[in-house]
Homo-oligomer: A and B are copies of this chain.
Amino acid sequence: MARYEIFVTYKQGIFDPPGATAERALRNLGYAGVEEVKIGKYIRMVADADEATVREMCDKLLANPVIEEYRIVTVEEA
């Protein structure tokens, strides 16, 4: 059993709607100093699977390699 952390973010130049919405809402709350907000996913997984398999899960379901990039950190190995 291993433990992974996965950070999914939009590729440079890809529009990030939840980030844009949060950015706007923060300014509406009075935080004028907010310049940019990007919202990605922070996934923690426990699995009986090696890193190559986790990469496959990202490519197929957890991320969309066309628009997103991700970084996998192995926190604890089997």
Contact = CB atoms under 8 A, between A and B. Distances in A.
A22 interface: yes
A: contact size bracket: 35 or more
Contact of A17 (B7, B10, B24, B46): B10
A43 B29 CA distance: 18
Contacts of A26: 57, 61-62
A63 B57 CA distance: 18
A42 B44 contact: no
Nearest to A25: B61
B37 A40 contact: no
Nearest to A49: B33
A16 interface: yes
